[in-house]
Structure 1
Amino acid sequence: MAESADWLTAEEQRAWRGFVRLHERLGGRLARLLQAESDLSAADFAVLVHLADVPEGRQRQQGLARTLEWEKSRMSHHVARMAGRGLVVRQECSEDGRGAFVVITEAGRAAVEAAAPLHVAAVRSLFLDHVTPAELRTLGEVSERVVAKLDEES
């Protein structure tokens, strides 16, 4: 089976491994800074940013899990922890007894609004300050194309 693999070329491997390292290191650094400065985990921030951007600050829990590429159980446990801290509430869906909504609270909105400037400053200093406008455009185009393909397949 290994013989039939379409192995990466040296250039492909360099680019792929560089991308993975970038993703891991940048994500880790942003998460540590966010936690230290705002007491929000990267996962908390992702949930709150998404909810702050949708109408009425609420979304079905299953849809939120799909959006964030999380397993259903991870979403359920994380929402429970966030609800315990007053950042979100879980509301049953009246039309569908099996479904539930996750709703951002005023405390959650305040937390994400306080953390957002810190996050933006970190993204700028750790990433954006080190790429040219042309590289940024290329990265945006590549990212959009790959995400669109992934969305097609899901």
Structure 2
Amino acid sequence: MNPVFKEFKEFVNKGNVIELAVGVVIGGAFGKIVTSLVNDIIMPPIGALDRTDLSGLFISLNGTFYQTIKQAKDAGAPTLNYGLFLNSILDFLIVSASIFLLTRAFIRFQKRQVEAENADKICPYCISKISINAIRCPQCTSILEETH
């Protein structure tokens, strides 16, 4: 077997490459969903409030006025597309907030699990895991001293 291929195989098997790949794929799909949320759900009502579509906001850098970005591009004019940039910032903020909230919820869930696991004690007689409130071990029936 080729040493490079063998090393690559060890790398894939040893690391969290599969989890990383799944995360990248899910992240890409999540990004598409957020982009659609911004462009199709959030921005239309905002645009309706002040009658502006942010994605259509631009400045023609050659000094000529164009109605749309497409007209400016067709004419070969350089444009500063600040409306598209604002949409991208909104995308980023929504993705960041979503990831923050999901991570926060996951960390809280893990913390609760750790706290629940720490709510047990070990019977000094039979070494079984028992409730911290137990006064008698359900495994060996020994009477336990109060430790809490």
Give the TM-score category using the shorter length: 0.3 to 0.5
Q: Which has the larger radius of gyration?
A: 2
**TM-score normalized by structure 1?**
0.34
- Ranked by relative contact order (alpha carbons within 8 Å, sequence separation 6 or more), the top structure is 1
